[in-house]
Amino acid sequence: MESLGCKQKVVTIFCDSQSAVHLTKHQVFHERSKHIDVRLHFIRDILEKGEIQIKKIATADNPADMCTKVLPGNKFEHCLNLVSVISDGET
């Protein structure tokens, strides 16, 4: 981003999975998370440095859904509005 002229102090990552947000903040080992390789816990190191922050976003307000799921038209238009894109159907 810096090469594009955008300087950010902290990058915010929005996540609609409460479990994923919890795993980034609390280093606990349990049966359900044992499959996560220790090498993939780098996100915790970056969080501790303060370079990124993880925030919960409601599933209904997650614009990334339009890139990852098949959506009905009204949900797709809602996602476009969330990222400030005007669809052809609007005047």
Per-residue confidence in pLDDT tens, the chain, 91 aa: 778 888 878 888 888 888 778 777 766 655 666 666 666 667 778 888 888 888 888 888 888 888 888 988 888 888 888 888 876 665 4
The kind and range of the H/E element at 52 are strand 52-56
Residues near 65 by Cβ (< 8 Å), separated by ≥ 6?
59, 71, 75, 79
| pLDDT at position 32 | 60
| pLDDT at position 28 | 63
Residues 47 and 68 in one domain: no
| pLDDT at position 34 | 61
Residues 24 and 63 in one domain: no
Residues 51 and 70 in one domain: no
- pTM for the complete prediction? 0.62
> Could you give the 3-state DSSP secondary structure of residue 13?
strand
> Could you give the 3-state DSSP secondary structure of residue 65?
helix
- Print the domain residue range for 72: 59-91
| pLDDT at position 41 | 66
